[in-house]
Amino acid sequence: MASLVRSDFLEMGLVKVAFLWELLAVGFSVLISDLDVVWLNGHWQRWMTHSDPTHPAVPEAALIAAADVLVTTDGLDVRQDARGGLAGIIELNTGVVYFRQTVGAKAMVQSWRKAMLHQKGRPDLTENVNDQSLFNQVRRVEPDEASVGL
């Protein structure tokens, strides 16, 4: 019974990623967030989508328009952010993730799904193997479009 409990979070991650894939496949860009995130207004669109010409992106977000996937992190470093890149070895937090409807985002979702499927059913599975830890594992590997069926 304990192994079933440990795999529940992974199973929920698989459902989430399958749903993401379906939305991306029919042409939607997708913003997902944890239940403890509260959106008080729609201003996030100026940071992430660049889709409204009447409200151009804020200058600090200019490079975001080129990203396939936007994800939050718990590791904040203002000086490093100003230079670009991640400070040290930062774990990304999948509490808020935006997937553009792009080949790159689809490749990430498929790789993320495959990483979860590879872990599913392992007898030594722990609660530390979850969708967020596997997202971080996948983002460290170069994508191989042939392996994700694109």
**Domain segments of the chain as ranges:** 2-148
36-47 per-position pLDDT tens digit: 877 777 666 666
Averaged pLDDT, 77-106: 79
Decide: residue 115, CB within 10 A, 0-12 exposed, 13-18 middle, 19+ buried: buried
Beta-bridge partner residues of 92 = 73
- Amino acid 1: pLDDT: 43
C-alpha 119/C-alpha 101 separation (Å) is 27
Q: Model confidence over 101-122: pLDDT tens digits?
A: 999 999 999 999 999 999 988 8
The fraction of the chain above a pLDDT of 90, given in percent, is 27
